[in-house]
Amino acid sequence: MTRSTVFTPFDIVEGDRKKGVVLLADHARRDLPEEYGSLGLPASEFDRHIAYDIGVETVTRELAAALDAPAVLAGFSRLLIDPNRGEDDPTMIRQLYDGTVVPGNYPIAREERERRLDRFYRPYHDAVGAMIASVAHASGKAPFIFSVHSFTPVMQGFVRPWHVGVLWDLDDRVARPLIDLLAADKTLVVGDNEPYDGALRGDTMFRHAIVNGYAHALIEIRQDLIADRAGALAWAERLAPIVDAIDRRPDIHQVKMYGSRTGPT
**Model confidence at 222, in pLDDT bands (50, 70, 90)?**
very high
121-174 pLDDT tens trace = 999 999 999 999 999 999 999 999 999 999 999 988 899 999 999 999 999 999
Tell me how far apart the alpha carbons of residues 262 and 265 are, in angstroms, rounded to a whole number.
Answer: 9
Domains of the chain, earliest start first = 3-35+46-78+126-247 (3.40.630.40)
| Angle, helix 229-247 to helix 175-183, in steps of 10 degrees | 130
Strands 100-101 and 3-4, by their bridges, are: unpaired
- pLDDT tens for 26-53 read 999 999 999 999 999 999 999 999 999 9
pLDDT at 1: 60
**Residue 182 · residue 164 · CB < 8 Å:** yes
Element (H or E) spanning 135, and its range? helix 122-139
Query: Contact 139/248 with Cβ under 8 angstroms?
Result: no
